[in-house]
A and B are shown apart, each in its own frame.
Chain A
Amino acid sequence: MSSPKPATPAIAEQQAELLGTLPFSDTQDFDDAARGLLGRRTPNAVTKPDGTVVWDNDTYGFLAGDAPDTVNPSLWRQSKLVAEQGLFEVVEGIYQVRGFDLSNVTFIEGTTGVIVLDPLISTETAAAALALYREHRGDRPVTGIIYTHCHVDHFGGVKGVTTQEDVDAGRVPVVAPAGFTEPAVAENVYAGTAMSRRAGYMYGAALARGPQGQVGAGLGQTTSTGTVTLISPTLDITHTGQEETVDDVRMVFQMAPGTEAPAEMLIWFPDHRALCTAEDATHTLHNLLTLRGAVVRDPHAWANYLTETIDLFGADVETVFASHHWPTWGNARIVEYLGTQRDLYAYLHDQTLRLLNKGFVGSEIAEQLPLPPALENAWHARGYYGSVSHNIKAIYQRYMGWYDGNPAHLWQHPPVEQGKRYVEFMGGADAVVEKARASYDAGDFRWVAEVLSHVVFAQPDHAGAKELLADTFEQLGYGAENGTWRSVYLSGATELREGNFGTPTQTASADIVAHLSPEMLFDALAIQIDGPKAWDHRVTADVVLTDADARYRLRLANGALTYSARPQRDDADVTITTSRANLPALAGGLDPARLAAAGIEVGGDTDALAKVHGILDPGDPDFDIVTP
């Protein structure tokens, strides 16, 4: 294992400069992050039944004192705050467990029990959080679940705090925004393999934790790696102003679809004068596009919903909390906080459009746009998870697409061919590495990364290029204020030095697969069809659900698998008959023997189905990123 290198003088200078320019004397966040502490979990490690550690906040014990030169001091500060763990009283009757996962879980006490809002990623961390809560607040039963939105860190631990039986029996309502389930499970269907592989980079799952490794993801420290579960909502929230009472706790909902998540809602607790902002106002500039890859988000809608939040609740609110980071108390501070968060998204959106209408492209706007001092110096508006730079490029992409309008960029050679040509005109690989070293010494790491990446793509075995590129990524990581940038850079350095680490964390759990609709299962198959191998095959298959009165026609032609639930005019080659519960077995492919073993009946031309199975070509969780 290669040992990390120290920060170069250029990075050390940058860190010192930040210490002089950002308002480190403002320590209000440290007061807020520690306020209301009732108890910690000591030691913090949370394990699976087999003893595997799925979460351990104690590994961040190194986050003490001043930032070393290998960590951006602003990120160091954020990580210290985020690594605060324990059970906290938000207001009387509302409690949070923080530092037990990427997200927070919130407990709201009702007359007979407790409502759990956003039960973390894993059953193990959620159960540990509930246990800590009960240790200090008594053994109250769970009387309701709320999912604020459809991201896994807000529902995955649900079976750690309740059971499917309790929900089915009507003892525990599960409240969620309308449209919750589809996006909650869809993400794993389409680009899931690529997203998971890239998420390994983004969260630094393969990195050692420490001043030269992973220090935190900005939004939370990192993701837990336990058991992901899902129980379907039983109560849909459909409109702003909708009121519901669960276990005598009154709630008023504000819908915010298409903001941080496709299905998201904020919750006002009038009896507590407390507002839960879900993930739409947190202590970071959030992502409009996550680095692991995602559908781009809408900052314009996001800002407008926060204006509405202030209009609806700004006069009465005394406490605001979210499912990440720490609360803010006091009406004036809250209104200022929400207004600043709103202005941040609106400013990035509007200024990006102003400048793109002057012909600037994403990278140019990202380089030149300054933030207003009031935003620049608001700690919660800084880019620990999102960044001004990658968000601006995302806004450009949202409105204009990948193409920047320059004909030279319409039909470029792919990276390897580009790399070969760049290396040739720059005088060969050795010469480029030598010149790049001079740029490295001058601290121009962005350039060194670009030019050496060409060398590595042209000549993947060039040891000198790989080594210097790894060193360069490392320095870029050390300098990054954004937790996910740091992890991406350091992950790249690690793979260049030690080889591909694959996908350490998988999120496609059995519960999630079980919630896939038939259409999504067919889509999951369709995107595995190897087109060139498939285009000479014409196969039709009917999928009949015995207990759901549904019948689908699948059709393979022209290398594309399409489907329909409508009546067809011809007979299918093969018929697959299954109960709805057994249908998820299709996620494993179409091998007739395997399907039969899963209790699925296959009739007709089973050879045809076997042929389709044979041309399925699943994704590669170990694909290369920093090498071709």
Chain B
Amino acid sequence: MPTAPKPATPTIAAQQQAVRDTLPFSDRQDFEDATRGLVARRTPNAVPNAAGDVVWDNDTYAFLDGEAPDTVNPSLWRQSQLSAVEGLFEVVPGIYQVRGMDLSNTTIIEGDTGVIVIDTLLSNETGAAALALYREHRGDRPVSAIIYTHSHADHFGGTKGFVSQEDVDSGRVRIFAPEGFLEHAVSENVYAGVAMNRRAAYMYGAALARGPQGQVGAGLGQTISTGEVSLIEPTDLVSTTGHEEVVDGVRLVFQMAPGTEAPAEMLIYLPDFHALCAAEDATHTLHNLLTLRGAVVRDPHAWAHYLTETIDLFGGDVEVVFASHHWPTWGRERVVTFLQNQRDIYAYLHDQTLRLLNKGLTGPEIAEEITLPPALENAWNARGYYGSVSHNVKAIYQRYLGWFDGNPAHLWEHTPVERAKRYAKLAGGVDALVTNAREAFDAGDFRWAAEAANHAVFAEPDHAAARELLADTYEQLGYGSENGTWRDFYLSGATELRDGQFGTPTETNAPDVIANLSPEMLFDALAIQVNGPAAWDVTVAIDVVVSDTDQRYRVWLTNGVLSYSAAPQQGDADATITSRRAALPALAAGNPEALAAAGIEVTGDATALGRLTAVLDPGDKNFSIVTP
């Protein structure tokens, strides 16, 4: 039985009122835009999978009605109300969007014979439901092409809800994607995948109840669907800005934007419609330069430059802009202002962070000191619902200077537990730490209460009062957050402190994604599981022959390191493994039955692979976050 949430403290209630008093809530344009062109809704909204489990249900956000309660930041409440608007919408005649059916939108453009789909949501189930809703109202048109704007799963994972692999293989359906799409789409799960998935559960609040004291929305979309993720390899890679295609009678002009919101990303202009698809580079939020689940830091400088180019290329002609999240903006002047504001927010954060770091301020200092121009501060689309000024500024500092802030005192700190023990001792014991944290809590200094109580919990993880106070503190910080992912992170922390760990509720290692890993990535996936200390006396050399692609690799273990090479090697391997490309992922299992079942042949020393797999030490999907 989960612990019941607590009410907002007076401090938080007062903060929410201050937000109401200062932000331009009377500006209701977004509500008009988010509902404009509504064709129909899916009622009830719940989308089940084949087994009957619900993988998406926007109706669970029906509580987002009326004024924000004290337990939700009114700005986030407003954003969630907008993000939870679901249905099929006409953007302009011939261009339709299904919104509120997943974290992202799918866009359907009508061609001469069928439809072109831009971005297919995260799951086959939500993708299929979106297509069905469209067809119900616009007729049973075939899908003639798919476009992936970028390499994130919420933009390709539902593809098999729209088309089959056979449709693509037979040439009936072309799939367009930016150059580098496939490699980036699959590589994210290889390296830090376990840690990212565990932290993603915090970020999206997957284990939280939905409601005014729980998850209210992720800012970018309400949350992620939990259905089956698919991936069909693109047939057409786009690599140059200005490249034009005519697909099913629809003219498309592409603008490349690599290394912005995603490593492979592109914007699309539809000149016949005067419509711009901004992919995920201009949305109704300040986006992430670093996601809280962990990621490679993004480049705000490049991002701002590409948006300048977007305005230069299409700003004279565009009448509507839409993206794969949130709602469109209509009218040339408003569109250009929107794009300029989005450009200026990334440029401003980048340039001001560099100005201030060149004056010696560190990430947390800059995050505290930076102020936004009124025009950006009051532009709803520039507010931090998914990214935040605070964590993005620290990300920019990190991008240019790294984790070390230059203070020698921070070069070689003790680990969190050792530090916590020492702080507890200096404070006069864990109880004294908790007392100090409680005073801070009562005074409304939740940031400090979190720091002090966190030391108490790390010094003595079973200290019930410390855990309870830390949970209460995170809860208040969550209630106060304007950012949806901050709220989720804090409330997830509170939940785990109160009710125990919830592990990783949502996995993204879909078979379709795994099947697209290159042999090199698969070897990397093994290499990062080798337990170094257990392995450093083990030597193994194995030749891996990929029979259907005529590739040959040497994989070997020395010094606790698994290396590989496709070049001819001196000396013989202990064993040779012959496998079809698609069966290679079975290598990780290592046992003869699994190999045989996958059709993998082993010659030479039959124990060689076992010696390697014996030192594999996979990640832990249930690692502790708020306790040591």
Listed in ascending order, the chain A residues whose CB lies under 8 Å from chain B are: 190-195, 197-198, 201, 289-296, 300, 303, 307-308, 311-312, 315, 339-340, 342-343, 346-347, 349-351, 353-354, 356-364, 367, 369-370, 372-375, 389-390, 393-394, 396-403, 405-415, 417-418, 421-422, 425-427, 432, 435, 439, 444, 446-447, 449-453, 469, 473, 476, 485, 488-489, 491-492, 523, 526-532, 535, 557-564, 566-569, 617-620, 623-626
Across the interface, do A347 and B561 meet the contact criterion of CB distance under 8 Å? yes
Q: How far is the CB of B407 from chain A (nearest CB, A)?
A: 6
Tell me if A411 and B477 are in contact (CB < 8 A): yes
List 25 A-B residue pairs with CB atoms under 8 Å apart, sorted by A's residue number.
A190-B354, A191-B358, A201-B408, A289-B403, A294-B400, A295-B399, A295-B400, A343-B561, A349-B528, A350-B530, A351-B560, A358-B194, A363-B413, A364-B415, A393-B404, A402-B290, A407-B489, A408-B470, A410-B490, A414-B365, A447-B418, A447-B419, A476-B408, A560-B351, A625-B408
Contact with A along B524-561 (1 / 0, CB 8 A): 10011111110010000000000000000000001111
Q: Please, what's the 1-or-0 string for B207-231, where 1 marks a CB less than 8 Å from any CB in chain A? A: 0000000000000000000000000
Tell me the bound Cα distance from A398 to B399 in angstroms: 9
The residue on A at minimum CB distance from B624 is A359
Identify the closest chain B residue to A627 (Cβ).
Answer: B407
Chain B residues with Cβ below 8 Å from A397 are 398, 402-403
Residue of A nearest to B412 (CB): A446
- Contact: A406 with B354, CB < 8 Å? no
Complex: A354 Cα to B340 Cα, angstroms: 42
Q: For residue B459, give the distance in angstroms from its CB to the closest CB of chain A.
A: 13
Knowing A295-B399, A403-B290, A531-B373 touch, does A347 contact B532 (C-beta < 8 A)? Answer: yes
B376, A374: Cβ atoms closer than 8 Å: no
A447 and B414 contacting across the interface, CB-CB below 8 Å: yes
What B residues does A413 contact at CB under 8 A?
Answer: 364, 368, 447-448, 451
Chain B residue nearest in CB terms to A357: B619
Measured CB to CB, the closest approach of chain B to A414, in angstroms, equals: 4
Q: Is the CB of A425 within 8 A of B436?
A: yes
Query: Please, which residues of chain A bring their CB within 8 A of the CB of B477?
Result: 407, 411
Does B294 make an interface contact (CB < 8 A)?
yes
Is the pair B407, A626 in contact by a Cβ cutoff of 8 Å?
Answer: yes
Q: CB-CB < 8 A to B361: which residues of A?
A: 623
The yes or no answer to B362 lying at the interface (CB within 8 A) is yes
CB distance from B377 to the nearest CB of A (A): 10
With A198-B406, A401-B395, A526-B351 known as contacts, the answer to whether A293 contacts B308 (CB < 8 A) is no
Chain A: minimal CB distance from B528 (Å):
4
- In the complex, which residue of chain B has the Cβ closest to the Cβ of A422? B423
CA distance A349 to B530 in the complex (A): 11
Decide if A357 touches B559 in the complex (CB within 8 Å). no
Chain A's closest residue to B433 (CB) is A425
Distance in Å: Cβ of B565 to nearest Cβ of chain A: 5
Hey, which chain B residues are within 8 Å of A349, CB to CB? Answer: 528
Tell me whether A372 and B347 are in contact in the complex, defined as CB-CB below 8 angstroms, given that A363-B416, A364-B416, A492-B408 are known contacts: no
Measured in the bound complex, the distance between the Cα atoms of B617 and A320 in whole Å is: 36
Closest to A312 in B: B567
Q: Is the CB of B422 closer than 8 A to any CB of chain A?
A: yes
A231–B372 alpha-carbon span in the complex (Å): 41
Q: Please tell me if B274 contacts chain A, counting CB pairs below 8 Å.
A: no
A347 and B560 form a contact (CB under 8 A):
yes
In the complex the two chains form, is B531's CB within 8 Å of A354's CB? yes
CB proximity of B200 to chain A, nearest CB, Å: 10
Q: Is the CB of A191 within 8 A of B400?
A: yes
Bound-state Cα–Cα, A557 to B376, Å: 11
Closest 4 interchain pairs by CB? Answer: A623-B360, A359-B623, A619-B358, A357-B619
Q: Does B355 lie within 8 Å of A530, measured CB to CB?
A: yes
Nearest A residue to B440, CB-CB: A421
CA distance A357 to B616 in the complex (A): 13
Give the contacts of B363-401 with A (CB-CB under 8 A).
Answer: 363-365, 367-368, 370-371, 373-376, 390-391, 394-395, 397-401
Q: A354-B528, A372-B559 are in contact. List 8 more A-B contacts (CB 8 A).
A: A370-B533, A394-B402, A405-B294, A408-B451, A453-B410, A485-B412, A562-B304, A623-B361
Q: How far is the CB of B20 from chain A (nearest CB, A)?
A: 21
Q: Are A526 and B402 in contact (CB under 8 A)?
A: no
The stretch from B47-55, B245-253, B310-318 touching chain A is B310-318
**A528 partner residues in chain B, CB cutoff 8 A:** 355
Residue in A367, A620, A625 whose CB lies within 8 Å of B406: A625
Chain A residues closer than 8 Å to B398, beta-carbon distance: 397, 401-402
Are B402 and A406 in contact (CB-based, < 8 A)? no
> B294–A399 contact, CB under 8 A?
yes
In the complex, what residues of B have CB within 8 A of residue A414's CB? Answer: 362, 364-365, 367-368
Contacts A289-B403, A350-B528, A564-B309 hold; do A401 and B294 have CB atoms under 8 A apart?
Answer: yes
Among A197, A289, A353, the one with the most B-chain Cβ atoms within 10 Å of its Cβ is: A353
A402-B358 in contact (CB<8A): no
Please indicate the chain A residues that have their CB under 8 angstroms from the CB of B39 in the complex.
Answer: none
B408 interface neighbour in A307, A312, A626, Cβ under 8 Å: A626
What distance in Å separates the Cβ of A242 from its nearest Cβ neighbour in chain B? 18
Q: Report whether A293 and B404 are in contact in the complex, using a CB–CB cutoff of 8 Å.
A: yes
Asked if B404 and A346 sit within 8 Å, CB to CB, the answer is no
Q: How far is the CA of A192 from the CA of B354 in the complex (A)?
A: 9
Question: Is A402 a contact partner of B363 (Cβ separation < 8 A)?
Answer: yes
Tell me, rounded to whole Å, the shortest Cβ–Cβ distance linking B390 to chain A.
6
Q: What residues of chain B lie closer than 8 Å to A347, measured between beta carbons?
A: 532, 559-561
Residues of chain B lying within 8 A (CB to CB) of residue A312:
567
Q: Closest approach, in angstroms, between the C-beta of A257 and any C-beta of chain B?
A: 15
Report the separation of the CA atoms of residues A194 and B198 in the bound assembly, to the nearest whole angstrom. Answer: 35
B371: which of A372, A531, A563 is its contact (CB, 8 Å)? Answer: A531
Chain B residues, CB < 8 A from A194: 357-358, 360, 400-401, 406
Tell me which of B100-108, B139-147, B295-303 binds A.
Answer: B295-303
Q: Considering the chains assembled together, what is the distance between the CA atoms of A195 and B400 in angstroms?
A: 9
Q: Are B448 and A357 in contact (CB under 8 A)?
A: no
Instruction: Specify which chain A residues have a CB less than 8 angstroms from the CB of B363 in the assembled complex.
Output: 402
Q: For window 459-515 of chain B, which residues contact chain A by CB distance below 8 Å?
A: 470, 474, 477, 486, 489-490, 492-493
B293 CB to closest chain A CB, in angstroms? 8
Chain B nearest Cβ from A507, distance in angstroms: 14
Q: How far is the CB of B313 from chain A (nearest CB, A)?
A: 7
Q: Judging by beta carbons under 8 Å apart, are B409 and A453 in contact?
A: yes
B258 contacts A by Cβ under 8 Å: no
- Measured CB to CB, the closest approach of chain A to B198, in angstroms, equals 7
Residue B454 lies at the interface, judged by CB distance under 8 Å to chain A: yes
- Answer whether residue B192 sits at the interface, using C-beta atoms and an 8 A cutoff: yes
B620 in contact (CB, < 8 A): yes
A97–chain B nearest beta-carbon distance, Å: 32
Q: Closest CB-CB distance, B35 to chain A, in whole Å?
A: 29
Within the assembled complex, what's the spacing in Å between the Cα atoms of A199 and B361? 16
- CA–CA, A390 and B408, complex, Å: 12
A311 touching B565, Cβ below 8 Å: yes
**Distance in angstroms between the alpha carbons of A109 and B498 in the assembled complex:** 73
Chain B nearest CB from A540 CB (Å) reads 13
Decide yes or no: A559 and B373 within 8 Å by CB, A426-B427, A446-B414 being known contacts.
yes
Q: How far apart are the CA atoms of A274 and B509 in the complex, in Å?
A: 46
B401 and A529 form a contact (CB under 8 A): no
Contacts of B533 in A (CB 8 A): 370, 372
Contact of B308 among A308, A369, A564, A620 (CB under 8 A): A564
Closest CB in chain A relative to B191 CB, distance in Å? 6
Q: Contact at B390–A411, with CB atoms within 8 Å?
A: yes
Whether A359 contacts B620 by the Cβ 8 Å rule is yes
Please give, as numbers and ranges, the residues of chain B lying within 8 Å of A411 by CB-CB distance: 390, 447, 477, 486
0/1 interface trace, chain B 257-299, chain A, CB 8 Å (1 if under):
0000000000000000000000000000000001110111100
